[in-house]
Homo-oligomer: A and B are copies of this chain.
Amino acid sequence: MSYTLSQLGQETSRRFAELLATTGLEPRQFALLGAVARQEGQSQQAVAGQVAIPTSTMVALVDHLEEEGLIERRPHPSDRRTRMLHLTSKGSSALDKATLLAGNWEASLCAGFNPSERSRLLELLGRVADNLGLDLLYYVS
């Protein structure tokens, strides 16, 4: 079971990353764009906390996405230290595209499952997560 979960988890991550690469995004960038989209105008540190990366790493990540024209750093009106992060229209459409891809990926994982089988699997996995004391955040259900 442990081996199965590890292998499946690793393989789904790896292949989703491959699929996502067709949009020019890495998984972490996808997560970052999603976090910015959920609430525009957040500081870099706020977003860094949500995607669980150190702020120093955040800088290069944002640099890159800004160079690609997917997000913007805008000055904070009252605090000149902080940069507010916003999606550009290009970033927004990239996120939409990646989100669509993620949906397809979900579907392909569960190909041949009927709804009750799919929810049964999620329920059993949820119990494993409980046994680990892990609470999963369902960005994508």
Q: How many copies does the complex hold?
A: 2
**Which residues of chain B are within 8 angstroms of A110 by Cβ–Cβ distance?**
1, 128, 131
Interface centre among A112, A113, A132, A139 (most CB of B within 10 A): A132
Chain A binding surface, main DSSP class? helix
**Least Cβ distance of A114 to chain B in Å?**
12
**Which residues of chain B are within 8 angstroms of A1 by Cβ–Cβ distance?**
106, 109-110, 118, 121-122
Q: Given A1-B122, A109-B2, A127-B112 in contact, is the A134-B8 Cβ separation under 8 Å? A: yes
A88 an interface residue at 8 Å Cβ cutoff? no
- Complexed CA–CA distance, A36 and B58 (Å): 43
Across the A-B interface, the 8 shortest Cβ-Cβ residue pairs = A9-B9, A121-B124, A6-B13, A6-B9, A5-B12, A5-B9, A111-B131, A2-B12
